[in-house]
């Protein structure tokens, strides 16, 4: 079973949404690729540390991507099992 105590760690600090294409910048923080690219084109700095940062420094964060995939898979399995329980209860009462 996959447990994430706080889903905020799986969210981009810019968009506040679950990562789809997580990348890590030279500041060590992870961002959604499109959001940080847009930010860097305007500002040229880390949105967190305000230190200079470049688009070329961004690297895919495969570990976070795997965590997101596991989280989504685990969530959908729980939803499926919950739906099955409701259907079973409904069929049972007929």
pLDDT tens-place string over residues 28-78: 999 999 999 999 999 999 999 999 999 999 999 999 999 999 888 876 655
- What is the Cα–Cα distance from 52 to 26, expressed in whole angstroms? 9
In this structure, what is the dihedral angle of CA atoms 46, 33, 6, 29, given to the nearest 10 degrees? -30
Q: What is the pLDDT of residues 65-93, one digit of tens each?
A: 999 998 888 766 554 443 434 344 444 44
Is the CB of residue 15 less than 8 Å from the CB of residue 35? yes
Going from N- to C-terminal start, the domains of the chain cover: 7-92
- What is the Cα–Cα distance from 2 to 4, expressed in whole angstroms? 7
> Which one, of 46, 25, 44, 43, lies nearest residue 33 by Cα?
25
Answering whether pTM is above 0.75, one says no
- Rounded to 5, what percent of the chain is helix, strand, coil? 50, 15, 35
The CATH code of the domain at 7-92 is 3.30.40.10
């Amino acid at each position: 079973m996959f447990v994430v105590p706080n889903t905020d760690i799986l969210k981009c600090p810019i968009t506040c949404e679950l990562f789809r294409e997580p990348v890590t910048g030279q500041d060590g923080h992870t961002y959604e690729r499109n959001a940080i690219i847009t930010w860097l084109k305007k500002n040229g700095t880390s949105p967190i540390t305000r230190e200079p940062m470049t688009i070329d420094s961004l690297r895919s964060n495969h570990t976070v991507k795997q965590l997101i995939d596991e989280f989504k898979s685990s969530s959908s399995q729980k939803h499926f099992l919950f739906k099955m329980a409701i259907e079973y209860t409904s069929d049972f009462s007929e």
